Amino acid sequence: MASTWLITGATSGIGRLVTERALAAGAQVIAVGRRSDRLAELADHAPHGQVTAVTLDITAPEAERVLAEAVRTAGGLDVLVNNAGYGLFGAVEQIDGDKARALFDTNVLGNLTVLRATLPTLRASRGRIVQISSVNGQLAWASSGLYSASKAAVELASEALAHELAPTGAKVTIVEPGLFATEFATSLDVVPPSDAYAPTVGQFLARFSQLPASAFGNAESVADTIMAVAAMEQPPLRLAVGADSVEGIRESLRSRAAELDLWASFSPEPADQPA
């Protein structure tokens, strides 16, 4: 029997590529996105009835109900690709409350909304949950503070979820892409830095804007990785995708381990307990 997938952010970037691959593999896809025209295009190019298009902002009050109903109508769910999100870059101090709330509403609370709507069915099917994070879920640069924080929240919630789901057979994988050529990279919300942050945030953003095309990987490889993970009997909890992600996370872990060892003496050993 063909599997059923739910993919958020299905109209562009990695979400669109995964949707196309899942359809080519014969899956039924609940494609979720905010662009009804792009969802219609997906449905038009797929075999009749293979796509259920759901035009939805996952931060909307009705999102959980709409998604749960789509899953019920589909008769079940085998794979969730929780992909919707966006990037906001700028100095921590200079990102105002409205922008910060909007970021966390989408990248964190929206992600959780999708999970609440789908987990009952995924537990029953012993399904696969693919949580799309980022290299920035493991490390932060000058300018990525709030975006990194939103992805770190997804990472730790997903790690806890993996422990909680372990007895059910449902599996969670956190995918951590590096820099890839998608609409995400060209549609970032960037808050220009003030003079105080020009040497740090400003310098980083200037370097980023001058990266050559060769610095961005082919997003097809991320989609291929997600397809492979969804088919694994024992998938990894975390999977960095792209050499820059692997090396960046490795260096961050080395630095953290070295700092932990350097300052471990500030944490006294526990006192001996009485017999």
How does pLDDT run across 45-104, given as a tens digit for each residue? Answer: 888 889 999 999 999 999 999 999 999 999 999 999 999 999 999 999 999 999 999 999
Whether residue 80 lies inside any domain: the answer is yes
- Position 1 scores a pLDDT of 46
Q: How far is CA 198 from CA 30, 60, 154, in A?
A: 44, 36, 30
Please indicate, yes or no, if residue 262 is contained in any of the structural domains: no
pTM: 0.93
Average pLDDT, the chain: 94
Catalytic residues: 133, 147, 151
Q: What percent of the chain has pLDDT over 70?
A: 97
pLDDT digit string, tens, across residues 99-124: 999 999 999 999 999 999 999 999 99
In a domain, 266, yes or no: no
% of the chain at pLDDT higher than 90: 86
Q: How confident is the model at residue 271 (pLDDT cuts 50, 70, 90)?
A: low
In the chain, the number of structural domains is 1
pLDDT in tens, 187-222: 789 999 999 999 999 999 999 989 888 888 999 999
Q: Is the pLDDT of residue 259 over 60?
A: yes
Tell me if 14 is assigned to some domain.
yes
Banded pLDDT at 230 (limits 50, 70, 90) = very high
Q: Is residue 147 part of a domain?
A: yes
Is 115 inside any structural domain? yes
Its domain, for residue 159, covers 4-255
Does a structural domain hold residue 271?
no
Pairwise pLDDT comparison (47 vs 251), residue with the higher score: 251
Domain with 175 in it: what CATH number? 3.40.50.720
Is there a domain that residue 125 lies in?
Answer: yes
Residue 142 has a pLDDT of 97
